[in-house]
Amino acid sequence: MAMDSSGAVHSGWHHVGQYPTGGLEDADLLTDLVEWIRAFTAGNPQPAPTFTLPDGPPFYRRCWEICREIPPGQLLTYRQLASRAGRDGAARAAGAAMRHNPTPMFVPCHRVVRQGGALGGFAGHSTPGEPALLLKQELLELEGCCPNNAARRGILSHSQVDPASH
């Protein structure tokens, strides 16, 4: 997790451990975000702390803003997300916005699924059984979105999930 020179938060999977150009650290915000993650992984999701979204194309930013509003335990389809962002029929573009989400978890792109409820992709991966999709499944289970949420496995155990059981 890092802030860029404009104060926008980056926590993406694509560049783990790398600070954005001109990046800085805000200890107070970092503490708030860590506490939020602890509550979330304990099965007690709360609204994410306030932070500034990084720059991006206007449609992507609108999708990220809408995604931030999806409550825990609820889902939107890529089509619904595109429509709410003002571009009916742009489900693929909404998917691209989620794939380029610089702040996963805090902009909960795991709550966006394909029409009919299929998971779609996560962190740029879409092959069934991949760890990224298993993580998306587990995040949704943690929020009570999936039929098999009784086990409530921790999100760090995603490699132990049997995809055939979901």
Task: Work out the angle between the directed axes of helices 91-99 and 58-68 (0-180°, nearest 10).
Answer: 80
Distance CA 54, CA 65 (A): 11
| Closest alpha carbon to 85 in 104, 45, 112 | 112
Catalytic-residue membership of 109: yes
Amino acid at 166: H
According to DSSP, residue 107 is labeled S
Catalytic residue among 63, 67, 109, 145: 109
- Residues annotated as catalytic (active site), given as ranges: 109
